[in-house]
C-alpha cells in the first residue's frame, strides 16, 4: 500500500478522489461518500455540526487503514472527514480504496468506514428546528 491520504478538512471536495486513487496496478476503485440526510426519525435536520480531536482522529484513521491493508491487498487509500457545520446534501466523509480487483476494494472500503464510525474521535451534533442532539451520546 502506498502512503494513505488521511485528512480532517473544513470543506470536502470529492471531485478529485479518482485521481488520488488511480494506480497502474489498480483495476478496481471503490468510493464511499457520506452526506447530510434531511430527516432523522421523521424529524427535519437543519444542519450537522462536526468536531474532532484531530491528533487522535488522524492516528485512529491510520490504524484502521493499516488493519484494512493487512486484511486485503490494497494499493491506495483516501480517508477525508469534515469538521464544522454542514447542510443537507453536503458530503461529510469520503473513503476510497483502490486495488487490483474489486473483491479487495469493496470490503476494505466498508471496513474502513464502519470502523471509523466506531473508533475515530469525531462527534456529530444534529441541529433540528427546536433542539440539538449529540448523536449516540445517550442510550
Partner 1 sequence: MELLLFGIAKDIVGRSSIDLPSKGVQPRSVAELKELLIADYPDFSKLSSFAVAVNSEYAGDDVTLGQDDEIAIIPPVSGG
Q: Is 56 in the site for partner 1 (CB under 8 A)?
A: yes
- Binding residue (CB under 8 A) for partner 1 from 45, 46, 47, 52: 52
Q: Is 78 in the site for partner 1 (CB under 8 A)?
A: no
Q: Is 118 in the site for partner 1 (CB under 8 A)?
A: yes
Shortest distance (Å) from residue 88 CB to partner 1:
16
- Binding residue (CB under 8 A) for partner 1 from 59, 73, 100, 127: 59
The single residue listed with the C-alpha cell 488511480 is 22
Contacts with partner 1, residue ranges (CB under 8 A): 34, 50-53, 55-57, 59, 81, 92-93, 113, 116-125, 134-139
Amino acid at each position: 500500500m502506498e502512503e494513505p491520504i488521511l485528512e480532517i478538512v473544513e470543506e470536502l471536495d470529492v471531485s478529485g478522489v479518482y485521481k488520488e486513487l488511480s494506480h497502474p496496478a489498480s483495476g478496481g476503485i471503490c468510493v464511499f461518500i457520506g452526506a447530510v440526510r434531511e430527516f432523522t426519525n421523521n424529524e427535519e435536520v437543519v444542519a450537522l455540526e462536526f468536531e474532532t480531536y484531530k491528533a487522535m482522529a488522524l492516528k485512529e484513521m491510520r490504524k484502521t487503514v493499516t488493519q484494512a491493508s493487512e486484511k486485503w491487498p490494497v494499493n491506495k487509500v483516501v480517508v477525508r472527514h469534515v469538521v464544522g457545520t454542514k447542510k443537507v446534501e453536503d458530503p461529510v466523509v469520503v473513503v476510497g480504496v483502490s486495488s487490483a480487483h474489486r473483491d479487495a476494494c469493496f470490503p476494505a472500503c466498508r471496513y474502513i468506514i464502519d470502523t471509523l464510525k466506531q473508533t475515530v474521535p469525531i462527534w456529530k451534533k444534529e441541529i433540528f428546528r427546536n433542539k440539538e442532539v449529540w448523536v449516540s451520546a445517550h442510550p
